[in-house]
Amino acid sequence: MHVIHRSMVEQFLADDGSLVRELAAPGNAPLAAHSLAEIRHPAGTASREHYHRVAEEVYYVLEGAGEVRVDGQARAIGPGDVIVISPGQRHKVAQQGQGDLVLLVTCVPAYSPEEVVFLE
């Protein structure tokens, strides 16, 4: 068993203005096949549109409001929503309204910047 408390994991500022905390990933846990991150989008921030060559992603909205766009289709998202993104699907998420948009994001295989293709 390997237990990691959120407070033990440093967050970092991504180039899109979001705050990322890799809660469980090959670099900090005995994992090889997947990763789990908390992503916080402060007011006015959005991820850059991108896709993953091989990774599947699942977003789970913990708090806040936003919009997710996948392959050109937009949808409002909020707490309790689960978004499933397949490899090759172009996607981005943007914070909207009051407060931060906070997501749990899992990737299978584990997140790797080398397999992400940014479109903006």
Q: What domains, with CATH codes, occur in the chain? A: 6-118 (2.60.120.10)
Quick one: pLDDT at residue 12? 95
Give per-residue pLDDT as tens, 37-87: 999 999 999 999 999 999 999 999 999 999 999 999 999 999 999 999 999
pTM for the whole structure: 0.93
Q: How confident is the model at residue 120 (pLDDT cuts 50, 70, 90)?
A: confident
Please name which of 111, 102, 19, 94 lies closest in space to residue 56, comparing C-alpha atoms: 111
Residue among 54, 66, 60, 4 nearest 29 (CA) = 4
> Which pLDDT does position 62 carry in this prediction?
99
